[in-house]
Amino acid sequence: MGDIRARLLKGALWVALGRLLASSLGLISTLVLARLLMPEDFGLVAISAAFMAVVTSITEMPVSEALVQHDDPKDDHFHTAFSISVTRGVIMAVLLAMSSGAVAQFYDDERLRDILYVMAIGVFAVSLTNPRLVMFQRELIFHQVFIMQISEKLMGFIVAMTAALIFRSYWALVLGALASEITRVLLSYIFCPIRPRLTFVYWRDLLSFSIWLTLGSSVQALNWRVVPLLYGAILPTNIMGQYSFGNRLTNTIFEQLAQPIQQTLYPAFSRFKTQKDALRMAYLRAQGVMCLWIIPCAIGFAAIAPTLVTQVVGEKWLQAVPVMQILAVTAALQASVAVQPIAMATGNTQRLFYRDIRATLVRWPLILIGIWLGSPQGPYAMLIGSMLGAFVGAIVNVIWNMTLVRDVGDLRIRAQFQLLLRPALASMIMTSVIWLLETMLPPTNDAWGIWIRLLQLCVAGGLSYVITIAVLWRLAGRPKAAEADAIQMIGGGVRKLRDRIGA
């Protein structure tokens, strides 16, 4: 177990580094595009992306997850996975193209038609991704994933910036995403050479595992992906753009922060699927690191969001601040329980499906109640009301997720809550330090002064969090928890760096 844990931490470090750099590029791209484009541009792309996500999620077939769990996948398993993916990609691309006219007519905007045509090309391109890429994840080898993350994000950044300067329109967002998708497909064959062929010989073997994940994806599409479509139908395009910008910026940061560890958990947990004690210990250590990492980032991001938006992209995006704050705290809640990897590793995909149904039945009434309560105050109040309703639903869902982890991993809910206590308390102190420093720093309109101000807030918040978490850990008796793993990783990295410099 020690070797696997070391490889897990090393893999998470590689992916984290890649995600950090990719997140930085995504953040810079979003902020620059917010300067060059208007809220309406973000709103149009958000509606198109939401419709595409709903259509593709309903028929999503995560056969790669089946290959990760499979004891001994053969070449024909990979060829079958490729064939299933391409077949689905063709169907989805044609369906998107054929429905583009109806979507444009429903939202009374012909620009949506052309956007969906281009997105259909992207859906087909993604379906061509090399299925052998999953072997890196299966064997806990992630430095190739690091290179791919940076390369695809960099290409998307270059294309998006070029299109923004040429067109000054929503095409920058659309073409940048398409460039990233095509780059990923090409690199997947460079890193894992294979000549795929069409065969469906193992389709039953793969779909028997992924069928419940497919059904779960359909429910999740209704739970999460339909919300932007609803907003597009009831909100003005500029308000929709404020939501889209806030959502895009928040996801750019927090998807990159959570996925480094999440991406390594499923293959690691799969190795312990028959060893309850080892699985429970692996979950506690990994999830502890997740909470130690995600919670302060989310709370800190929410604290500096007003300064970030007003000082960097301008007051035209001021209404996006509450959106970013609600989404950031929601992201921290969702990352506090890694139910998906442990349930998949233990073969409990059916229970995940039932979990998704319960979450949808709770979340949507709360969203609709929030819209109804906000309607007398206007469209923006409807948006914020619905998001607060979704946040309450997320709290309920976290408790259900902990219950599911208790059942499949034999892990008490109390032990899961304890993983949150020190990071949450330290984050509250960090937020107080940030707000206090903001009141003390003099205002500035200078470009460099703005970035220095943000850097000061981030450094002060980060230092206060690290000091507080260290004190709380010592007061708790220095338990063998996430803090110990963090110290071990940092110490190992420092020793390796020192050895290389000395050599």
**pLDDT tens profile 5-36:** 555 555 555 565 666 677 677 778 888 888 88
Closest-CA residue to 386 (of 367, 403, 400, 363): 367
Q: Is 108 left (phi over 0), alpha (psi -120 to 50) or beta?
A: left
pLDDT for 486 equals 77
Mean pLDDT of all residues in 280-304: 86
Quick one: 178 and 324 in the same domain? no
In a domain, 286, yes or no: yes
Sign of CA dihedral 239, 245, 248, 249: negative
pLDDT(446) > 80 = no
In a domain, 466, yes or no: yes
Element spanning 151, H or E: helix 143-167
Mean pLDDT of all residues in 137-153: 69
In a domain, 40, yes or no: yes
Domain boundary residue, one of 212, 234, 256: 234
Count of H helices and E strands in the chain? 19, 0
Between residues 220 and 82, the one the model is more confident about: 82
- 360-380 confidence digits (pLDDT tens): 888 899 999 999 999 999 999
pLDDT for 280 equals 82
pLDDT for 402 equals 92
In a domain, 144, yes or no: yes
- 336-346 confidence digits (pLDDT tens): 888 878 887 77
Distances in Å between the Cα of 291 and the Cα atoms of 252, 333, 419 are 18, 9, 7
Q: Is 481 left (phi over 0), alpha (psi -120 to 50) or beta?
A: beta
Quick one: 290 and 185 in the same domain? no
Closest-CA residue to 180 (of 161, 201, 158, 200): 158
Domain boundary residue, one of 185, 206, 234: 234
Quick one: 295 and 438 in the same domain? yes
Quick one: 472 and 407 in the same domain? yes
Quick one: 319 and 439 in the same domain? yes
**In angstroms, how far apart are the furthest CA atoms of the chain?**
70
Number of domains present in the structure of the chain: 2
Sign of CA dihedral 215, 217, 220, 221: negative
pLDDT(427) > 80 = yes
Quick one: 227 and 276 in the same domain? no
pLDDT for 294 equals 85
Between residues 179 and 491, the one the model is more confident about: 179
Q: How far is CA 351 from the centre of its chain?
A: 22
CA distance 215 to 57: 9
pLDDT band at 206 (very low <50, low <70, confident <90, very high): low
In a domain, 248, yes or no: no
How much of the chain, in percent, has pLDDT values that exceed 70?
80
Whole-model pTM?
0.77
Q: How far is CA 482 from the centre of its chain?
A: 22
- The encoded tokens of residue 55 equal 């259509």
Supply the mean pLDDT for the chain. Answer: 82
pLDDT for 436 equals 92
pLDDT band at 466 (very low <50, low <70, confident <90, very high): very high
pLDDT band at 118 (very low <50, low <70, confident <90, very high): very high
In a domain, 249, yes or no: no
pLDDT for 467 equals 94
In a domain, 394, yes or no: yes
pLDDT for 213 equals 61
pLDDT band at 348 (very low <50, low <70, confident <90, very high): confident
- The single-letter DSSP state of residue 142 is -
Closest-CA residue to 158 (of 181, 179, 187): 179
Asked whether the beta carbons of 342 and 408 are under 8 A apart, the reply is yes
Mean pLDDT of all residues in 480-487: 79
pLDDT band at 198 (very low <50, low <70, confident <90, very high): confident
pLDDT for 410 equals 82
Cα 71–Cα 77–Cα 80 angle in degrees, nearest 5: 150
Quick one: 105 and 154 in the same domain? yes
CA distance 203 to 171: 38
pLDDT for 260 equals 55
CA distance 339 to 352: 8
Give the domain extent around 204: 1-234
pLDDT for 357 equals 84
Asked whether the beta carbons of 268 and 282 are under 8 A apart, the reply is yes
Quick one: 297 and 228 in the same domain? no
Q: Other C-beta atoms within 10 Å of 71: how many?
A: 5
CA distance 40 to 126: 27
